[in-house]
Chains A and B, each alone.
Chain A
Amino acid sequence: QSVLTQPPSASGAPGQRITISCSGSSSNIGGNPVNWYQQLPGMSPKLLIYNSNERPSGIPDRFSASKSGTSASLVISRLQSEDEADYFCETRDNNLNGRLFGTGTKVTVL
């Protein structure tokens, strides 16, 4: 099934570390690199991680990611108030022959 499942929400206090999961299948995450996007309130999405674990220039090293099997994870370390946003994973789905976004996770900084 072509769905990338993320937890609806995640939260943490400033300075803490949180992990967001993205669960897929062999037709998507299992065979393709994963990208992650951050969408601040009222803004366009912004590329955060590409190729499963690489950061574009300008993205702080507090953001890291990994992929294993049919799942991927985004880690935000040293959480800051400006990290409050929605986060989406994204990858290619071979069955769809197209791109697929995760369901999205809203991060709240307590």
Chain B
Amino acid sequence: QVQLQESGPGLVKPSQTLSLTCTVSGGSISSGPYSWTWVRQPAGKGLEWIGRVYPSGSTNYNPSLKSRISMSLDTSKNQFSLKLSSVTAADTAMYYCARVARQLASAMDVWGQGTTVTVSS
């Protein structure tokens, strides 16, 4: 059973870079019909797709965040990561990592429990 676990600092100062890691257990991030994605949710609000990284390392980002995002894979650690630069209070949210299953119409079929990130000085 594949499981995902987010990790990273819960507090980031404005203008700094937010860095999160998602550790995948129970399956390899570099095999199968899967890619890996990040989604965020401000408190009391809806879900926002951030971006996606493929086993090849290629990426696909939300245009509204594209200039500030970097996503990558670390196959040696079976992890993938998110970096979001120049953060502001608007980036305060719960951040989820998830698996995208190509065979399920690219649905996000496995989710992490989420990690709360607050942007504040």
Partner of B104, one of A56, A88, A98, A102: A56
- In the complex, the answer to whether B60 meets A97 with C-beta atoms within 8 Å is yes
Chain B residues near A14 (CB, 8 Å)?
Answer: none
- In the complex, the answer to whether A100 meets B49 with C-beta atoms within 8 Å is yes
B51, closest chain A residue (CB): A98
- In the complex, the answer to whether A98 meets B61 with C-beta atoms within 8 Å is yes
B65, closest chain A residue (CB): A98
Chain B residues near A101 (CB, 8 Å)?
Answer: 39, 46-49
Main secondary structure of the interface of B (DSSP, over half): strand
Partner of A96, one of B62, B106, B107, B109: B62
- In the complex, the answer to whether B49 meets A56 with C-beta atoms within 8 Å is no
Contact with B along A80-92 (1 / 0, CB 8 A): 0000000010101
Contact with A along B21-46 (1 / 0, CB 8 A): 00000000000000001010000001
- In the complex, the answer to whether A98 meets B60 with C-beta atoms within 8 Å is yes
Chain B CB within 10 Å, residue with most, of A50, A92, A103, A104: A50
- In the complex, the answer to whether B104 meets A50 with C-beta atoms within 8 Å is yes
Docked CA distance A92–B98 (Å): 16
- In the complex, the answer to whether A47 meets B61 with C-beta atoms within 8 Å is no
Within the complex, what minimum Cβ distance (angstroms) separates A87 from chain B? 11
The interface on chain A, measured as residues whose beta carbon lies within 8 A of the other chain's beta carbons, has a size of 24
B106, closest chain A residue (CB): A92
Q: Does A51 contact B (CB under 8 A)?
A: yes
B113, closest chain A residue (CB): A44
Given the interface pairs A98-B62, A98-B63, the reply to whether A45 lies near B111 with Cβ below 8 Å is yes
Complex interface residues of chain A between 49 and 86 (CB less than 8 A to chain B): 50-52, 54, 56
Chain A interface residues (CB < 8 Å from chain B): 33, 35, 37, 44-47, 50-52, 54, 56, 88, 90, 92, 96-104
- Known contacts A47-B107, A52-B105; 11 additional CB pairs below 8 A are A33-B105, A44-B111, A45-B108, A50-B104, A51-B105, A51-B107, A90-B108, A92-B106, A98-B61, A101-B39, A101-B47
List 16 interface pairs A-B (beta carbons < 8 Å), by A numbering: A33-B105, A35-B104, A35-B108, A37-B108, A44-B111, A45-B47, A45-B96, A47-B104, A47-B107, A50-B104, A56-B109, A97-B63, A98-B52, A99-B52, A101-B47, A104-B47
